[in-house]
Amino acid sequence: MSVQSMTTTKTADVEGTLQQIYALAANGADIVRCTCNEQAAAEGLAQIVPRSPVPIVADIHFHVEMALAALEAGVQGLRLNPGNLRKPEEIKLVASEARDRGVPIRIGVNAGSLHPDIYKRFGGATPEALVESARLELAYFEEVDFSDVKISVKASSVATMIAAYRLASETFDHPLHLGVTEAGPLPGGLLKGTAGIATLLAEGIGDTLRYSLTADPVEEARAGRQLLEALGLRERKGLDLIACPSCGRAEVDVIKVANEAQEALRALDVPLQVAVMGCVVNGPGEARHADLGIAAGKHRGHLFIQGQIVRVVKEDEMVEALVDEAKKIIAEGIEARLLARDLSAEAEAEADRAELLDARGADANNAHVRIEKIRRHAEE
Ligand code: SF4
């Protein structure tokens, strides 16, 4: 599975575009798309492609000349929208040129720019209409013996997009590029993209993906990477911060501590699962699978590694202690850090836990009394 994103710079701005491409690659993008809408953009691509850390796909809009210019610039892929580039002889010309250069093309169908004939024939941008558009384009490609193709059938409606990709996966043998188009700003855009892409990935559909967010494209790359990591489709390279949702038992402002920890640890870019838990009563146990974590209790933080308490720190030092321990785990490894634990920490933590349970009541609902009464009633 590859994550794709798209630059928002003018492609003619070579340095600005390269800066964005590097940022995207650093955050999980495997492929980056740049617009090729004018000659200056194509000339920019000629300088960007050899300096890019990832393959560059040129997005061609309406002009066949731009497709040919992008190929000349040395791009590793083209994206053609069948709704925009419509003349069969032009489509076949681009496909022939791509074939001769060994460059793949994505047939990028978009519900919002569907070919008017197909729109009319199907009475709208239905899943069937989107797949038909891709099929017709593919037929032109096959006429010139070109099949190095991937296909996308995007729609801004998640339900339409899911149905279209399901149909596409039954119809084509080609790789599919997933996306919910024009998903919008965060957080709704993220939600829509995830609903569509994750549903299909869970069904085994999809080979590349893009979140189309109205946000810094780095968010798109990050979201794509995190989705694949969450689904176990990509080895986790970055931080996975888990945190309890907080509740009446919480001894600290969990949201604040979790955000501070996320910010501080993101800068380290550590491949660790780190937990922030609001109380010591349930926290370390519930997050025992995490590499590292901290739970709050009695104005103190219990730092734990794989569920084992290694240190007890002051409440206002929780984030600092977490970051410090993460650095040490990276440098020395988990086993070494477990051996270096404060041997009195477990007893201290147990005392805090006991005190909290005493203060709050382990059985706040007085369940044992109620159970007794229920049993008595049953006997009567
Ligand atoms: S870990 Fe503690 S504070 Fe967090 S949700 Fe669970 S019980 Fe509540």
- Alpha-carbon distance of 174 to 177, in angstroms, equals 10
Domain 2-230 part of CATH 3.30.750.24: no
Q: Output the CA 363–ligand 1 centroid distance in Å.
A: 15
The pLDDT tens digits of the residues spanning 40-51 come to: 999 999 999 999
Q: Tell how far the Cα of 338 is from the centroid of ligand 1, in angstroms.
A: 24
Of 3.50.50.60, 3.40.50.1980, 3.30.413.10, 2.40.50.140, the CATH number of 240-360 is 3.30.413.10
Is the fold of 2-230 the same as that of 240-360? no
- Give the residue, 143 or 249, on which the prediction is more confident: 143
Ligand 1 geometric centre to CA of 373 (Å): 29
How far apart (Å, rounded) are the C-alpha atoms in residues 49 and 14? 10
Q: Which atom of ligand 1 is nearest to the CA of 280?
A: 2
278 lines ligand 1 (CB under 6 A): yes
Give the pLDDT mean for 127-148: 97
Model confidence at 8: pLDDT above 60:
yes
Residue nearest to atom 8 of ligand 1 (CA): 247
295 Cα to the center of ligand 1, angstroms: 9
**Residue 364, pLDDT score:** 54
3-state secondary structure string across the chain? CEEEEECCCCCCCHHHHHHHHHHHHHCCCCEEEEECCCHHHHHHHHHHHHHCCCCEEEEECCCHHHHHHHHHHCCCEEEECCCCCCCHHHHHHHHHHHHHHCCCEEEEEEHHHCCHHHHHHHCCCCHHHHHHHHHHHHHHHHHCCCCCEEEEEEECCHHHHHHHHHHHHHHCCCCEEECECCCECCCHHHHHHHHHHHHHHHCCCCCEECCCECCCHHHHHHHHHHHHHHCCCCCCCCCEEEECCCCCCCCCCHHHHHHHHHHHHHCCCCCCEEEEECCCCCHHHHCCCCCEEEEEECCEEEEEECCEEEEEEEHHHHHHHHHHHHHHHHHHCHHHHHHCCCCCHHHHHHHHHHHHHHHHCCCCCCHHHHHHHHHHHHHC
Span 322-375, pLDDT tens digits: 999 999 999 999 999 999 999 999 999 898 888 877 775 555 566 677 788 888
Q: Is the CB of 279 under 6 A from ligand 1?
A: yes
Report pLDDT digits (tens) over 268-296. Answer: 777 889 999 998 888 888 888 999 999 99
Tell me the whole-structure pTM to 2 decimals.
0.83
List the domain boundaries for the chain: 2-230, 240-360
pLDDT > 70 fraction of the chain, expressed in percent and rounded: 98
Per-residue pLDDT tens over the stretch 289-330: 999 999 998 789 999 999 999 999 999 999 999 999 999 999
pLDDT at res. 365: 60
Indicate whether residue 282 lines ligand 1 (CB < 6 A).
yes
Most informative mutation of 257, 286, 356, 357 for ligand 1 (most atoms within 8 A of CB): 286
Ligand 1 close to Cβ of residue 277 (< 6 A): yes
Provide the pLDDT for residue 361: 57
